[in-house]
Amino acid sequence: MIMLIIKNNKGRLLKGIAAFVMLAVLLTGCSGDKLSDDAAAMVNGTEIPMEEYDKNLALFSYGYSSDVLNRDDGSGLTLLDTIKDYVTDKLVLEVLIYEEAEKNDIKVTDEDIEEAFNGFKEQMANDEILSNYMEENGITDEFIKDFLKKSQLVAKYEVFYTENLEISDDEAKAFYEENPDLFTTEEVHAKHIVVSDQMLADELYLRTKNGEDFQQLAKEYSEDPTVEENGGDLGYFPRGVMVKEFEDAAFSLQAGEISEPVESQFGYHIIKVEDKLSQTITLEDAKNEIINHLVSVEYNKHIEELMEKAKIIKR
């Protein structure tokens, strides 16, 4: 359960964090206050203890090997760098949410915490690796209860704030009309043959155009490791699944058409489109989802405003 708690907590907080990370960086050091040696950050005069930061970092790093954590993702940052930034922003946001919750008399009950904690303890009893990891990192029951309390307070505050927001039908309609691509789904049913030799690809293309059985040629020549199982049949897939070169070619074809060889990182593909589907979601069917999205956007704006007004110092 602890990993589910971390995952859910992270997903919820990221909605608020993503929009204001750069703003938070700009605000760092805007106060004249100074951090003590055992503080990871300060928010409106409230220090975030380094010990709390370290234990959160341990929780969010759980399950990753040292190699994965310290591997450069190509941007000059490692996964560990990203997790460190996330943990700092999470803890800063929790302080801000606590301040707002106090103003609005929003509380987490002892019963709520105990219920969540008991579920966590049940998982711990069946997970020796996690139990040992927690002990090695000094993550106590008291810390977990506090972690759960803050997580639940963030969730309760979001519900409190968003349930008072009103998104009109006109706003939902405007979003629908301004973003047509979001409400149209396209899928292609395609088969392919992939080979590493261009001359062979050219030959196979001509043979398919001359009427030879596409599936039989795929089984005989294709270098796709799954060809024995599917005969080169990829089934239906939407945009965003295949590599760009393959996707562009497949979606440009009509049902029954065969492409000339298309080069990708995997080789040369001959693609045959069997069927194409296109469906537009109506405004009526999409309205609830649109309203939820617009409510989320408004909540993120609120979080940005809190961040902008706050005095934040990060180590």
| The pLDDT of residue 315 | 86
Whether residues 139 and 199 share a domain: the answer is no
- Asked if 312 contacts 96 with a C-beta cutoff of 8 angstroms, the reply is no
Whether residues 121 and 150 share a domain: the answer is yes
Reported as a single tens digit per residue, the pLDDT across 173-190 is 999 999 998 999 899 999
Mean pLDDT of 10-16: 42
What average pLDDT does the chain have?
A: 89
3-state SS track over the chain:
CHHHHHHHHHHHHHHHHHHHHHHHHHHCCCCCCCCCCCEEEEECCEEEEHHHHHHHHHHHHCCCCHHHHCCECCCCCEHHHHHHHHHHHHHHHHHHHHHHHHHCCCCCCHHHHHHHHHHHHHHHHCCHHHHHHHHHCCCCHHHHHHHHHHHHHHHHHHHHHHCCCCCCHHHHHHHHHHCHHHHEEEEEEEEEEEECCHHHHHHHHHHHHCCCCHHHHHHHHCCCCCHHHHCCEEEEEECCCCCHHHHHHHHHCCCCCECCCEEECCEEEEEEEEEEEEEECCHHHHHHHHHHHHHHHHHHHHHHHHHHHCCEEEC
Whether residues 301 and 157 share a domain: the answer is yes
Instruction: Establish if 288 belongs to a structural domain.
Output: no
Instruction: Establish if 222 belongs to a structural domain.
Output: yes
Token reading at 101: 């919750």
Is the full-model pTM beyond 0.85? no
Whether residues 156 and 185 share a domain: the answer is no
Reported as a single tens digit per residue, the pLDDT across 44-95 is 999 999 999 999 999 999 999 999 999 987 788 999 999 999 999 999 999 9
| The pLDDT of residue 122 | 87
Whether residues 81 and 218 share a domain: the answer is no
| The pLDDT of residue 33 | 64
User: Above 90 in pLDDT, residue 276?
Assistant: yes
- Asked if 21 contacts 89 with a C-beta cutoff of 8 angstroms, the reply is yes
Whether residues 196 and 261 share a domain: the answer is yes
Reported as a single tens digit per residue, the pLDDT across 209-257 is 999 999 999 999 999 999 989 999 999 999 999 999 999 999 999 999 9
Q: Would you place residue 25 in the very low, low, confident or very high pLDDT band (cuts 50, 70, 90)?
A: very low
Whether residues 151 and 66 share a domain: the answer is yes
Whether residues 131 and 184 share a domain: the answer is no
Whether residues 264 and 305 share a domain: the answer is no
| The pLDDT of residue 123 | 82
Instruction: Establish if 175 belongs to a structural domain.
Output: no
Whether residues 130 and 200 share a domain: the answer is no
Whether residues 119 and 230 share a domain: the answer is no
Instruction: Establish if 285 belongs to a structural domain.
Output: no
State the total domains in the chain. 2
For residue 219, what are the contacts with CB-CB under 8 A and spacing of at least 6? 227, 228, 231, 232
Instruction: Establish if 272 belongs to a structural domain.
Output: yes
Domain that holds residue 227: 180-280
Reported as a single tens digit per residue, the pLDDT across 107-124 is 999 999 999 999 888 888
C-alpha span between 62 and 54 (Å, rounded): 12
Instruction: Establish if 173 belongs to a structural domain.
Output: no
Instruction: Establish if 67 belongs to a structural domain.
Output: yes
Instruction: Establish if 264 belongs to a structural domain.
Output: yes
Whether residues 190 and 151 share a domain: the answer is no
C-alpha span between 55 and 120 (Å, rounded): 16
Mean pLDDT of 130-157: 95
Mean pLDDT of 130-150: 95
Q: What CATH code is carried by the domain that includes residue 200?
A: 3.10.50.40
Q: What CATH code is carried by the domain that includes residue 159?
A: 1.10.4030
C-alpha span between 308 and 24 (Å, rounded): 8
